[in-house]
Structure 1
């Protein structure tokens, strides 16, 4: 088995371009986040040499391990569920936290970021599909939650994140991505001071083209980049 990251990235970038063209969008407005769960530092370095600038990690421990080797060579995204007691380890390292889903977590991020005087870009995680197995706020809870976060000084809400259910036919995920985009548009109409709806983080290896067609400007792609070929 051969892992050809260069070839995989070529294919992924072609598919992103195709989806951007379908939606009449500029590919430069779409950030590809390479998800490096279970991926070695050597493989991450190879991806960086092929143009990857943004790395996403699901677990704090893995992020810290890779950060030791790579430092600020890339932008770091914490995309997995984040426990309050782990915030202190990453608050000075990550560029984005994609998984803010409770007031207690938000308050911890605010407190830790204030201590080091470093604003942190965050996305509010929404359980758009209503699956019990997924983290995130119910869509009906998001507006009131975001109004509370608008009062924070260091936690900067920059948009929304979701995970669609895994299905064989990516087309079946469209309604979920459309739902998150619509929610984002509704939030834009609320008078807010700090909150921005600049980003929609949605779409993974199996459904990122549909997500882009529905407005995603951050896609989190792992297996399509780091899967071996026969």
Structure 2
């Protein structure tokens, strides 16, 4: 995934001139390389295929130039947690890709993930930009997505956000109510329930974090095992900058990483 910028440097010694190929790698590319290595190691520890783990680069605090750099490095799964920022950055990146494509040198299509809390009155704007919404945690929100999907002629992917930590300040449906809500989502014609999303507590206690992720994986398997969902129910979005290795060990298929890439 990581591509280095290459430049030729000449060095003269007497009458001889030598050309050296020098690779310059930014801090962002270095961090991405380290994250990829950490993901691979976590997969190796648990017998998983690293190719089954998708890295979503969360761009919420990143300058536009840094977002462009990430795309040029080959990372096209991007996430935002605020609707206005999502629409703004998506528009600027669309223009950037259009310029690149006109020169036959542009990166591939970007897939935008809406990962933050979403209000029903902002669903239409998000669906025009985002290919998947991670943060669906109420029936009314899903109904709005379903209605708007029908009007726009699309069938967006959604994830059911579950509060596996039990923290009152966090969004997400309680674990005990998740299966019933998932069943209601599946009955809707203009959306696809493709998995679950959760957030671990912000703590240095790895056991607490792991317990949260273990519960999410158990719930994921419970819902699948009851035959309520189809083959498309295959994604488990959990793990951020501070805990993504534990998430991989416990079965995450989507990681949402931002500060570890842009802030170090």
Question: What secondary structure sits across from 1:186 in the alignment?
Answer: helix
Is 1:84–2:120 an aligned residue pair? yes
Is 1:27–2:50 an aligned residue pair? yes
- Quick one: distance in 2 between partners of 1:8 and 1:95? 26
- Map 1:73-112 onto structure 2 (within 5 A): 73-112=109-148
Greater mean deviation of Cα atoms: 63-72 or 135-144: 63-72
Q: 2:183–2:229: 8 Å Cα contact kept in structure 1?
A: no
Identify the match of residue 16 of structure 1 among 33, 39, 51. 39
Is 1:69–2:108 an aligned residue pair? no
Is 1:219–2:245 an aligned residue pair? no
Q: 2:223–2:229: 8 Å Cα contact kept in structure 1?
A: no
Is 1:183–2:187 an aligned residue pair? no
Q: 1:170–1:206: 8 Å Cα contact kept in structure 2?
A: no
Offset of residue 171 of structure 1: 4.1
Alignment correspondent of 2:159: 123
Offset of residue 193 of structure 1: 5.4
Q: 1:205–1:223: 8 Å Cα contact kept in structure 2?
A: yes
Offset of residue 68 of structure 1: 0.6
- Quick one: distance in 2 between partners of 1:193 and 1:175? 25
- List gaps (5 residues or longer) in structure 2: 1-25, 95-107
Runs of 4+ in 1 over 6 A off after TM superposition: none
Is 1:148–2:187 an aligned residue pair? no
Alignment correspondent of 1:52: 75
- List gaps (5 residues or longer) in structure 1: none
In terms of Rg, which structure is larger?
A: 2
Q: Say if 1:223 and 1:170 are closer, same or farther in 2 by CA, change over 3 A.
A: farther
Residue-by-residue CA offset, 1:137-168 (whole Å, 9 max, x unaligned):
00000011111111101111000000000111
Question: What secondary structure sits across from 1:160 in the alignment?
Answer: strand
- Quick one: distance in 2 between partners of 1:189 and 1:25? 21
Q: 2:56–2:79: 8 Å Cα contact kept in structure 1?
A: yes
Higher relative contact order (CA 8 A, sep 6+): 1
Q: TM-score, normalised by structure 1?
A: 0.94
- Quick one: distance in 1 between partners of 2:260 and 2:57? 9
Q: 1:156–1:194: 8 Å Cα contact kept in structure 2?
A: no
Equivalences, count: 226
Offset of residue 196 of structure 1: 3.9
- Quick one: distance in 2 between partners of 1:191 and 1:26? 25
Residue-by-residue CA offset, 1:16-54 (whole Å, 9 max, x unaligned):
111111111111100000011111221101011122120
Q: 1:150–1:195: 8 Å Cα contact kept in structure 2?
A: no
Offset of residue 169 of structure 1: 3.5
Greater mean deviation of Cα atoms: 47-56 or 138-147: 47-56
More strand by share: 2
Q: TM-score, normalised by structure 2?
A: 0.82
CA RMSD of aligned residues (A): 1.4
